[in-house]
Structure 1
Amino acid sequence: MTFFSWKPGLAVWLVAGATLVGPASAAEAEAPGLGGPSSVRADLTDGDGLTDPEFRSRFLQANLPAWFAFKGSLRENANIDFKIDYLSLGQWSNADVGQGHAAGGIARIYGTWQAFETGGLTAKLEHRTAYTTVAPQFFGFDSDAQSITGTAFNDIQLALTNLFWTQRAENRVWTLQIGQIDVTDFVDVYGLVSPYTAFQNLAFNTNPTINAPNPGIAVAGGVRLHENIYAIASIADANGNPAEPNFDVFKTGDTFKSFEIGYMSSQDRIYFDNIHLTFWQSDGADNGSRKDDWGVAGSASWFFDNRWMPFLRTGFSQGEAALYKATVSAGLGLYTRQTDLVGIGLNWSDPGDAFDDDQYTAEVFYRLTLSPNLAITPSVQLIANPALNPEKDSLAIFGLRGRIAL
């Protein structure tokens, strides 16, 4: 899903987990393989959270016949599926410090090649840029809060975030991946985890107590242990940079490891109806830029009537490497018109021993689908006791995100 320059990491990981479903949408989907709601598989499906598949299909055939035919021909004749999208995010705060505003954009091209029935290649190339002095990802810090308020909208420029091979069993009971991968696509995820279609604050994305590495060279795998039980484990290079991919993990040996075990109502609803525990550990860097850390995270979410998704998430870390030492988040996602999404989230966090008070965060957003290929998402984030400014009681951040996908 995302990567953050405040915690380095070229991911090299091993995952033992279920054959996982991707899209964070109101519709059920066939489990496409390892990857959560922000993965390439999820974004490629018609149920990627932008709109429902039948509506998209009718619109494309009527309004973009050449493009639709071209992509359809690639899928039919070469087993290649791809998408291009662009996202923009603007944020404004009422803080009396910092820049007062931030904006940035992400251009992405991503796709899959299904070489065999049980194996194929996944790739994603991104260009992330800040329009302003401060990128939205760091706007919370600029406004004196220990908070990432614009997850994924940084200024790392060109980055290879995915380039990996997937191999799976014919009955999809296990999945194996190797290559350049993003562990946050599946480590401790749930249906509303994607910063491209759902919440923007990290408190409601990948658990902020997990010192997850950035995308990079990786090995990943998954196994379904029972009809309703799955497990996930990972090992990742903790020091890399997806903007400059390398194999340094074989020299340093610094790795991130995780193990997750969870309950699902069925395989094709693994991120809709899901309860899990995630255990993780990250090595420190030899140069002292990152400390050793470990922790535990838990998550429970359930999709009622294919409209309502309440969630409860928590976690703690032993060290000081992650954003927070402890956190609890709760909230609700509500799908309306089968295309729009309302999200409400509340969070308590302990930002660490260096801070006097706990920090509280609330986020409300409404993702409005203007057309099958265009969505805008206004949002409000309220932060009480912003940790970097003990003298300030609260902070408000207003946001507007746009996404166009073809």
Structure 2
Amino acid sequence: MKLTKLSLACMATALSLPALPALAATPQENTLLEQLMARMEKLEARNAELEKQVQELKGESQAVAAGLESPRLSESEPELTVRLKAVEKDQLNMKKAQKIAESLDGIQVSASLATVAQRASGLPQGIANGKSQLNYRADVSVELPLAPLGDIDHKLFAHVRMGQGLGLNETYSNLGYFSSAPNALAFRASGLNPDDSVAILGQAWYQAAIPLPYLGFKPYSRETLELTFGKMDIFGFFDQNLGAGDESRQFLNSVLVHNPLLDAAGEVGVDANGFQPGFVASYLNATDKTQPWRLSLGLFGAGDRGSNYQRSLSSPLVMVQAEKQLSFDGLLGNYRVYAWNRSQGVDFDGSEKRHTGVGLSIDQRVGDGIILFSRYGKLLKGELPFNQTLTAGAEFNGSYWGRAADVIGVAGAWLKSGKSYRLAGAGGCVGGFDDLGNCLAGAFTYFPQGAEKVAEIYYRYRITPQFEISPDVQFLSRGGANPDAPSSRIFGLRANIAY
């Protein structure tokens, strides 16, 4: 029962009136009146309690408001204030995390650690550098996209490398092998102290991708001009090959990783760490998305001083390449033809002359799990220990034997000795060399004939998506085109962890 102020006033007035003598209250009426008065007392008490609670709520509201105005927390603050501030803090942290994620959007980071153990057999006795070697190499690369300049996308790329051990490369170099780097994964910064394990900045370049026609409608563009400059690995832009181009996962011998004339013969003229300054302009036409084609022009610092920023462009290496992707019954292949010119190439006798050469690199998928590949190179001008090369091989996917992530690779190389090199004769040292370059034992002279031959087979076994091991076997015959050189075999085991 709810009483208004008006009804209470009327009731009070009625109770204050003098009683009429003729209307005496009955016991029932007195009882009803007592009940009514008791209920009024309860209502007054409840009203006082509600007023007290309202005052308390007002006080708490003021305390909450005062607490929210201060960024600090105290023990006397209401629980609601503490909770609200906790929610605000979590929201701010989420916004910060979101901003960080947005700033890192598009950044690509890759890292790898590879270790190789090799042992050679069939070499002459008394090899000073030993017949078994162990080495490791670690690589970390970061690709950082920059804010677009209108329709132009551009990015920065950096690559850091470190390692120890030269593998068996010194041994085979001292014996005069054309394929003097049977372990292309071996790395030691500048080839200095064996105890050094120094990280070096191998690559640092900038690239801009400009859609063509310039100032056109970018979504309709099917042509791109790419401009790249900085310190780089030339084989990231020229002589690429899907079946043979990564020594950390595919073939180990350098003559099978790149064109032997460019790499093993030193035509690229890189620095002691395998990199050089350069500029690359590339035109990509993807009008037919299934069969795009590209034209590239590169200008690189080469040689002892040109590759390390001392006289980078005084005698540059110039490379041009045309590449086309073709599809046969849905199976893709890449076909590349290129040429190079080095104004001050180094002949086998140490003299400097202009060097010119041409090359070809092909990889073609012929099945769901089979890739055939080949490279050809010919030196048109200049005199090197070998002037013509041919490599070919195949990669077989493990899906044929129930191991889809595994791979078998088989390849061979033919390195034909140069005419002038054959006529001049060559020397070797059976016992290896000391620190001063003197032959320790068994010096000899021979007249090269024919070609050096190399064969390699590996099996890449995947343990996890990031961890693979690869047993590897190499066969080398007629080392340095020496007809009397014994055949050599190299047994290796590679472990590669990549992320």
- On the 8 A contact 2:452/2:476 being kept in 1, the answer is yes
Aligned to 1:197: 249
Pick the aligned partner of 2:412 from 304, 324, 346.
346
Root-mean-square deviation (CA), in Å? 2.9
Greater alpha carbon shift after TM alignment, 355-364 vs 168-177 = 168-177
What's the counterpart of residue 392 of structure 2? 330
2:477 aligned residue = 384
Distance change (3 Å), C-alpha of 1:379 and 1:295: same
1:69 equivalent in structure 2: none
Deviation at 1:262, TM superposition (A): 2.2
Partner of 2:160 in structure 1? 125
Matched residue type, 1:310? L
Q: Is residue 2:111 matched to residue 1:84?
A: yes
Shift of 1:371: 1.0
Kindly provide the amino acid, as one letter, of the partner of residue 206 in structure 1: H
Q: Would the aligned equivalents of 2:119 and 2:490 in 1 still touch at CA under 8 Å? A: yes
1:77-226 equivalences under 5 Å are: 77-79=103-105, 80-94=107-121, 95-97=123-125, 98=127, 99-117=130-148, 118-130=153-165, 134-142=166-174, 145-147=177-179, 148-156=181-189, 157-170=198-211, 171=221, 173-191=224-242, 192-210=244-262, 211-214=267-270, 215-225=275-285
What amino acid is the match of 2:476? I
- CA distance in 2 between counterparts of 1:85 and 1:74 reads 25
CA distance in 2, matches of 1:322, 1:263: 30
Shift of 1:322: 5.7
Please give the alpha-carbon distance, in whole angstroms, between the structure 2 residues aligned to 1:347 and 1:279: 20
Residue 216 of structure 1 and its aligned partner are, at CA, apart by 2.3
Per-residue deviation, 1:379: 0.7
SS of 1:292's partner is strand
Aligned residues: 326
User: Per chain length, whose mean CA-contact separation is higher, i.e. which structure has more relative contact order (CA < 8 Å, sep 6+)?
Assistant: 1
Looking at structure 2, the residues matched to 96 and 286 of structure 1 have their Cα atoms a distance apart, in angstroms, of: 30
Mapping 1:369-380, distance limit 5 Å = 369-380=462-473
Structure 2 counterpart of 1:183, one-letter code: I
Q: Secondary structure at the match of 1:184?
A: helix
Partners of 1:155 and 1:291 in 2: CA distance: 30
1:173: how far off? 2.1
1:284 deviates by 1.7
Contact 1:330 1:345 in 2 (8 A): yes
Give the match's secondary structure for 1:116. coil
Is 1:283–2:334 an aligned residue pair?
no
Q: CA deviation at 1:245?
A: 4.5
Residues 1:263 and 2:324 aligned together: yes
Going from structure 1 to structure 2, the CA distance change for 1:343 and 1:286 (only over 3 Å counts) comes to closer
Cα contact 1:301–1:309 (8 A) shared by 2: yes
Gaps of 5+ in 2: 1-97, 190-197, 212-220, 423-447
Q: 1:81 to 1:234 in 2, by over 3 A?
A: same
Is this contact kept in 1: 2:449–2:482, CA < 8 A?
A: no
Report the Cα distance in structure 1 between the residues aligned to 2:177 and 2:99, rounded to whole angstroms.
49
Aligned to 1:249: 312
Greater than 6 Å deviation, 4+ residue runs: 72-75
Cα deviation per residue 1:53-94 (whole Å; 9 max; x = unaligned)? Answer: xxxxxxxxxxxxxxxxxxx99765323221222111121111
Aligned residues of 2:114 and 2:136 also touching (Cα < 8 A):
yes
1:321 deviates by 6.5
Conserved 8 A contact 1:87-1:105: yes
1:158 and 1:146 map into 2 onto residues whose CA distance is 29
Three-state SS of the structure 2 residue aligned to 1:140 is helix
Looking at structure 1, the residues matched to 110 and 308 of structure 2 have their Cα atoms a distance apart, in angstroms, of 23
| 1:169–1:305 CA distance, 2 compared to 1 (3 A) | farther
CA distance in 1, matches of 2:470, 2:175: 22
The one of 363, 372, 380 equivalent to 1:301 is 363
Identify the structure with the greater helix proportion: 2
Cα distance in 2 for partners of 1:322, 1:378 equals: 33
CA distance in 1, matches of 2:361, 2:311: 33
Query: In structure 1, what is the Cα distance between the partners aligned to 2:416 and 2:224?
Result: 39
Whole-angstrom distance in 2 between the partners of 1:318 and 1:190: 23
Task: Describe the SS at the equivalent of 2:172.
Answer: helix
Q: Is the 8 A contact 1:282 1:292 kept in 2?
A: yes
TM-score (norm 1): 0.72
1:200 maps to a residue whose letter is: L
> Matches of 1:321 and 1:103 in 2, distance apart?
34
Change (3 A) 1:404 1:103: same
| CA-CA distance at 1:143 after TM superposition | 5.4
**1:264 Cα deviation from its structure 2 partner:** 0.7
Shift of 1:395: 0.9
Distance 1:81 1:73 in 2: 17
- Match for residue 77 of structure 2? none
Whichever of the two has the greater Rg, that structure is 2
Are residues 312 and 87 of structure 1, via their aligned partners in 2, closer, same or farther at CA, if it must alter by over 3 Å? same
User: Aligned to 1:169, what secondary structure does the other structure show?
Assistant: strand
Q: Match for 2:104: what amino acid?
A: A
Is residue 118–residue 167 contact of structure 2 (8 Å, CA) maintained in 1?
no
User: Aligned-pair distance for 1:285?
Assistant: 6.5
Q: Does 1:274 align with 2:309?
A: no
Q: Measure, in 1, the Cα distance between the counterparts of 2:99 and 2:489.
A: 48
What amino acid does structure 2 have at the position aligned with 1:283? S
Give CA deviations for 1:19-65 in whole Å, capped at 9, x if unaligned: xxxxxxxxxxxxxxxxxxxxxxxxxxxxxxxxxxxxxxxxxxxxxxx
* 8 Å CA contact 1:216, 1:240 repeated in 2: no
CA offset at residue 349 of structure 1? 1.1
